[in-house]
A and B are shown apart, each in its own frame.
Chain A
Amino acid sequence: GAGVSQSPSNKVTEKGKDVELRCDPISGHTALYWYRQSLGQGLEFLIYFQGNSAPDKSGLPSDRFSAERTGGSVSTLTIQRTQQEDSAVYLCASRSTGAYTQYFGPGTRLTVL
């Protein structure tokens, strides 16, 4: 079946602009995660949605970052007033209820000029 999809695959923006990144999880997966991967680094947790529970926002690096998940499916990560240090690959993962494995999408590469 279809895996996790993300769009756009690449995004180039100017410093100070806002960006929105989209994640479509695997159908039926109730848990959704956002991670960030900087060049040559491991993955850094950003935010976690589980069903209708309040999201775990403990990994968001600043108040410029926010995310929402509409209808328990699609999620959007928004970065306001982008900075050059926001340049990274943003990865989304989803997980089925009762299972442990997180499945990742291909990521969105964000470049802030």
Chain B
Amino acid sequence: GESVGLHLPTLSVQEGDNSIINCAYSNSASDYFIWYKQESGKGPQFIIDIRSNMDKRQGQRVTVLLNKTVKHLSLQIAATQPGDSAVYFCAESASGYSTLTFGKGTMLLVSP
């Protein structure tokens, strides 16, 4: 089946920097996209999601951008903090009610 992948396995930034985590997807029929944060030993924690009828959505310190033309998704974290250090997963589904297909994840390392 089609899958979602990530461009960068590890991203190292300084505290206060803005971080951008990228994700490519291959299923043009995908309608729903979501980002999760996973800290060591914990389950994935919902960050932000977006539907295919939008190209941008903002949350608290986070923004998700969707480019359907090139099938690309990104997560922007403003003023990155050490507590943001975790693995970030993007996922997609053909509809929000169906199962999610996950990418392999990007490790974000934030140095003080």
Chain A contacts to B: CB under 8 angstroms: 4, 31, 33, 35, 41-45, 48, 50, 56, 59, 91, 95, 99-107
Contact = CB atoms under 8 A, between A and B. Distances in A.
Interface residues on B, range: 20 to 34
B44 interface: yes
A43 B42 contact: no
A100 to B, nearest CB: 3
Residue from the set A4, A43, A44 with the largest chain B CB neighbour count within 10 Å: A43
A101 B46 contact: yes
Nearest to A50: B97
A43 B99 contact: no
Contact of A43 (B41, B46, B102): B102
Nearest to B46: A101
Contacts of B51: 100
20 contacts: A35-B102, A42-B102, A42-B103, A42-B105, A43-B44, A43-B102, A45-B100, A48-B99, A91-B43, A91-B44, A95-B97, A100-B32, A100-B51, A101-B49, A104-B36, A104-B44, A104-B45, A104-B46, A106-B41, A107-B42
Nearest to A43: B102
Contacts of A95: 97
Interface of B: 32, 34, 36, 41-46, 49, 51, 89, 91, 96-105
Contacts, number: 53
Contacts of B32: 100
A107 B99 contact: no
A99 B34 CA distance: 13
Given A42-B104, A43-B44, A106-B42, A100 B99 contact: no
Given A43-B91, A95-B97, A100-B32, 5 more contacts: A33-B99, A43-B102, A100-B51, A100-B97, A104-B46
B99 A105 contact: no
Given A41-B104, A42-B102, A42-B105, A104 B97 contact: no
Given A41-B104, A42-B89, A42-B103, A100 B96 contact: yes
Residue from the set B51, B89, B98, B103 with the largest chain A CB neighbour count within 10 Å: B98
